[in-house]
Amino acid sequence: MKRGLQELENSVGLNPLLEQIENNNVQYVLLGEASHGTSEFYSWRSEITKRLIKERGFSFIAVEGDWPDCYNVNRYIKWISGSGKSAYDVLYSFNRWPTWMWANREIVELIEWLREYNKNLSEEQRVGFYGLDVYSLWESMEAVIRYLRKIDPEAVKTAIEAYHCFEPYGKSVEDYARATAFVPESCEDEIIDMLVHLHGKANQYKSDGLASREGYFNAEQNAIIAKNAELYYRKMMQGGTATWNIRDTHMMDTLKRLMEFHGKQAKSIVWAHNTHVGDARYTDMVEAKMVNIGQLVRKYAGDNNALLIGFGTYQGTVIAAKEWGQNMERMHVPPAVEGSWDRLTHELSEGRNSLLIFRDYSLGEYNGKRQLIVEEEKEDLGTTIKRGQRAIGVVYNPKYEKYGNYVPTDLTRRYDALLFIDNTHALHPLHMPEVKEDKDLPETFPTGL
């Protein structure tokens, strides 16, 4: 392998990353993925996550997922009564498309590990699992109503009024977005009233110990989600970058709230797509005035307190859908296009899995291991070279990959490190029938199976 790349065969190969985190007491570790449907991205993130928790005392995992569903996982791994019989049962209940992102066998294994890890710890020490996303408008309002009915039945009226405001739209965010685009009336005031009420009763609601404190935090977060989701869907018809920035700003605000909730010594692990994790300022996203979590974490916590880790692949298979809301498929991922970072890394690593660390924390700057030898020349990766880096979302068509699945990227500034898995395999969704070999798998399965 060429200089600047370290072969990655097993967990031992992660030691340089763990050393960076330990030596600098990093509190924010963001783990990306080049697709939402690749098994190795999940398994390597799981391995990093386990080591961060066991060896570095990290406090919680926050993922690109819905808060209500992920909070059920949080309850399960913390041994809260009535939270579910198994990780499989808890994750199988995830029903918002695309279900495969979290309802998959790779995550089942991690969740059972987290539950076992938490088993003999005190309530205060148990590791948490939370969702950062903003999509769960109705589910979050329903969660607030359930909370108030339990803790303060007389106060539930405000939450129900907010919920009733949305009833004419039949839980269709598209109908709500269209309606508010043409009529200047919305449910914004009702949602804000619900949040104001919770804030007004905060001291009362969280006065009975840790369980009550976390219960209030959950209800308050759901009220915040409802407020931001209403704004997100109201802006949806306008197009542009507004909804992207609303979403990533909400995820960053949620991460800050979680850090505050877990105390001054808290340490967080974030799982999200590369497009959220890699600093947007070093991609073409900056030209569209888009921001993301990686950029916001660096700005908020400081460069030395955040480690952004991207993921990449050369070829393989992936779980995705041809169009939004359609059935999941196992698709082939063709070899990376000529001139991309993915093709370059494949050639330099000679087809092996590799770890690249771009930032030398001990020097406080980007240099040292930032040079790769390309044939007989040295290409300084500290320059503003912007090759394309592959990005596969939940919607994907391999036939058109070269026209829209590569993000122009200054790789060594977008991330602090990169895990490159040369040949990858599709995720194993819980809602897809299990088979022994890929060749036996039909092309498409209904997500409801």
pLDDT digits (tens, 9 = 90+) for 132-149: 999 999 999 999 999 999
Provide the pLDDT for residue 162. Answer: 86
363, 240: one domain: no
Whether residue 127 lies inside any domain: the answer is no
Q: What is the mean pLDDT of residues 394-418?
A: 92
Using a cut of 0.85, tell me whether the model's pTM lies above it. Answer: yes
321, 391: one domain: yes
* pLDDT greater than 60 at residue 409: yes
Q: Last residue of some domain: 246, 281, 315?
A: 246
Whether residue 85 lies inside any domain: the answer is no
Whether residue 367 lies inside any domain: the answer is yes
What CA–CA distance (Å, rounded) separates 423 from 352? 8
Phi, psi of 437 (to 5 degrees): -135, 150
Cβ neighbors of 10 (< 8 A, separation 6 or more) are: none
Q: pLDDT by residue (tens digit) across 102-132?
A: 999 999 999 999 999 999 999 999 999 999 9
One DSSP character per residue, 71-140 reads HHHHHHHTT-TTS-S-HHHHHHT--SSSGGGTSBHHHHHHHHHHHHHHTTS-GGG--EEEE--S--HHHH
Whether residue 56 lies inside any domain: the answer is yes
Whether residue 121 lies inside any domain: the answer is no
The residue range of the domain holding 181 is: 135-246
298, 398: one domain: yes
What's the structural domain count of the chain?
2
55, 155: one domain: no
Provide the pLDDT for residue 169. Answer: 82
Whether residue 402 lies inside any domain: the answer is yes
Provide the pLDDT for residue 201. Answer: 87
In 10 A of CB 212, how many CB atoms?
A: 14
User: For the chain, what percent of residues have pLDDT higher than 90?
Assistant: 67
Q: Last residue of some domain: 193, 211, 246?
A: 246
151, 217: one domain: yes
Whether residue 104 lies inside any domain: the answer is no
Structure tokens at 207: 């006065």
- In which region does residue 162 sit, left (phi positive, over 0), alpha (psi from -120 to 50) or beta (all else)? alpha
Provide the pLDDT for residue 434. Answer: 46
Q: Answer with the residue of higher pLDDT: 355 or 441.
A: 355
Question: Where is 380: in which H helix or E strand?
Answer: strand 377-380
CB 388 within 8 A of CB 407: yes
Q: What amino acid is encoded at 9 in this protein?
A: E
Q: Answer with the residue of higher pLDDT: 1 or 400.
A: 400
CATH assignment of the domain containing 6: 3.40.1660.10
What CA–CA distance (Å, rounded) separates 312 from 323? 23
315, 279: one domain: yes
336, 392: one domain: yes
Provide the pLDDT for residue 178. Answer: 80
* pLDDT greater than 60 at residue 378: no
Whether residue 238 lies inside any domain: the answer is yes
223, 276: one domain: no
Provide the pLDDT for residue 381. Answer: 44
CB 159 within 8 A of CB 144: yes
Q: Last residue of some domain: 192, 213, 246?
A: 246
288, 397: one domain: yes
In DSSP terms, 63 is beta-bridged to 131, 271
Least trusted range by pLDDT, from 87-96, 167-176, 271-280, 334-343: 167-176
17, 152: one domain: no
* pLDDT greater than 60 at residue 211: yes
152, 297: one domain: no
Provide the pLDDT for residue 331. Answer: 97
* pLDDT greater than 90 at residue 436: no
Nearest CA-CA partner of 99 in 448, 436, 441: 448
Cβ neighbors of 44 (< 8 A, separation 6 or more) are: 311, 419, 421
193, 296: one domain: no
Q: What is the mean pLDDT of residues 233-243?
A: 85
